[in-house]
Amino acid sequence: MLSQLRASRTYAAVTRESDAQRARRRGRRTKFLRALRRTLAVAVGALVLGTLTALADTAPASHTCGYFFRKGNDIIVTKSGPVSCARATSVVRAFWSGVGVTMHGTSDATGYFTIRALQGWRCYQAAGAGECIKHTATASYRVKGKA
């Protein structure tokens, strides 16, 4: 009887020991799986964000709309984004007319211009070129022979 009791205690001790080992292993496996899931989530997030950033950074193709003459200059108009050539040309013409154009800032390099008749458009200019922007629509110009 005593030998049976010892045998059952030994078996119970071995069983408990193996249960503890299993629990420890399960805990390690759970931690590993959690870490793996987090790593995969971060990798997928970075991949998606990188793809969206690359798509956002690609500028829409510009299209030459035409030209007009103003103040002795040949002004070539281009557009990109959701704007028509007629609208792009009218925005650039209004900017070049100077009527209702207000400068915001201290210089061409640090400031921008608004056109009273065309709400929401901001125009920027540099030597021989410039652009007017409203959201994602862009009406650009360059002066022939100057840029």
Q: Are residues 27 and 53 in the same domain?
A: yes
User: What does the block give as tokens for 97?
Assistant: 């007319």
**What CA–CA distance (Å, rounded) separates 90 from 88?**
5
Q: Are residues 54 and 97 in the same domain?
A: no
Q: Are residues 138 and 69 in the same domain?
A: yes
* Domains of the chain: total: 2
Q: Are residues 70 and 130 in the same domain?
A: yes
Question: Kind and range of the H or E element at 65?
Answer: strand 63-70
Q: Are residues 77 and 14 in the same domain?
A: no
Q: What strands lie across the sheet with 129-134, from one edge to the other?
A: 63-70, 73-80, 137-143, 129-134, 118-126, 112-115, 101-104
Last residue of a domain, one of 18, 40, 58: 58
**What CA–CA distance (Å, rounded) separates 123 from 116?**
12
Q: Which domain holds residue 3?
A: 1-58
Q: Give the pLDDT confidence score for residue 17 in this predicted structure.
A: 60
**What CA–CA distance (Å, rounded) separates 147 from 16?**
84
The three state secondary structure string of 30-58 is HHHHHHHHHHHHHHHHHHHHHHHHHHHHC
Q: Walk along the chain (147 residues) and give the pLDDT tens digit of each residue.
A: 556 655 555 555 555 667 767 767 666 667 776 776 777 666 655 555 555 454 445 555 789 999 999 888 899 999 999 999 999 999 999 999 999 999 999 888 889 999 999 999 999 998 889 999 999 999 999 998 765
Find, among 126, 122, 118, 119, the residue nearest to 136 by Cα. Answer: 122
Find, among 138, 141, 145, 144, the residue nearest to 61 by Cα. Answer: 138
Contact of 61 with 85, CB cutoff 8 Å: no
Q: Give the pLDDT confidence score for residue 18 in this predicted structure.
A: 72
- Partnered with residue 115 across adjacent β-strands are 101, 118
Residue 141 CB-half CA count within 13 A: 29
Q: Give the pLDDT confidence score for residue 47 in this predicted structure.
A: 57
Q: Give the pLDDT confidence score for residue 70 in this predicted structure.
A: 86
This prediction's pTM: 0.58
Q: Give the pLDDT confidence score for residue 44 in this predicted structure.
A: 56
